[in-house]
Amino acid sequence: MITNKIKICIVEDYTLTRTALKYSLSEYDDIDIVKDFDNAEECIKYLERSKVDVILMDLGLPYMNGLEATNIIKKSYPDTKIIIITSHDSEDEILTALSAGANAYLIKDTNTPKIYNIIHSVINGAIWLDPRIVKLAMEIFRIQKQYNNEKEDLGNLTEREKEVLKLLSEGCSNTEIAKKLIISSHTAKVHVSNILSKLAVTDRVQAAVKAYKYNLC
């Protein structure tokens, strides 16, 4: 007899899906479905008094959704593994779930043996993504990295350069910038050149677009 079973909670508001998961996974000797819930709030209350190894979490839940629940649970119980099982594959939900600390993200039509293997993978420290969303997730991370890099570029601007950029974004010429900031036209031109270089853009319009994108103006 297996004594160290993996204790699992299922949070799914659709009764048929919840029941199917419960009984199919119960067939495995090392799995113990300790509780199943149709809402996240009850699951969180249960965690206050009982330890759980893995939570199978739906996203489209009533009241508190699965993303909110994941964020709360991972902050209070960081060792508890959360596997998102959903029919949702939107960019925002994938990124939010992973940022909240979800250990796996899979689509609902994943078969039981695969879910069983994923449970063991996350217990052993792995992060698992459904192959159908891996490319999407990689693109999200690429865009996020690019966004963070661009924000760092903005952070490299001096206070004077930010003032120049603001005026530049308002359509001011170098002469107008010089007059408003009480500097020479040559100095204004140098500032504009430095701004274009730091923001990795080739003209004033592109610089203005970045300024508005990051709410600098």
Please tell me whether the overall predicted TM-score, pTM, comes out greater than 0.85 for this model.
no
- The reply to whether 115 and 24 lie within a common domain is yes
**With 70 as the cut, is the pLDDT of residue 108 above it?**
yes
Q: What is the pLDDT of residues 8-46, one digit of tens each?
A: 999 999 999 999 999 999 999 999 999 999 999 999 999
One domain for residues 91 and 131: yes
Q: How many domains does the chain have?
A: 2
Question: Domain containing 170: what range?
Answer: 156-213
More confidently predicted of 57 and 136:
57
CA distance 72 to 35: 19
Identify the domain boundary among 85, 114, 139.
139
* pLDDT score of 137: 61
Confidence (pLDDT) at 145 = 63
Q: Is residue 26 part of a domain?
A: yes
The reported pLDDT for the residue numbered 141 is: 60
> Is the model's pLDDT at 130 over the cut of 60?
yes
Can you give the three-state secondary structure of 109-164, one letter per residue?
Answer: CCCHHHHHHHHHHHHCCCCEECHHHHHHHHHHHHHHHHHHHHHHHHHCCCHHHHHH
Q: Average pLDDT, whole number, for the chain? A: 85
Q: String of b and e for 176-208 (b: at least 16 CB within 10 Å)?
A: ebbeebebeeeebeebbebbbebbebeebeebb
**Residue-level pLDDT at 155:** 58
pLDDT exceeds cutoff 60 at 1: no
Task: Identify whether residues 116 and 17 lie together within a single domain.
Answer: yes
Tell whether the model's pLDDT for residue 86 goes beyond 50: yes
* The residue to which tokens 């297996």 are assigned: 2
pLDDT at 215: 61
In-domain check, residue 48: yes
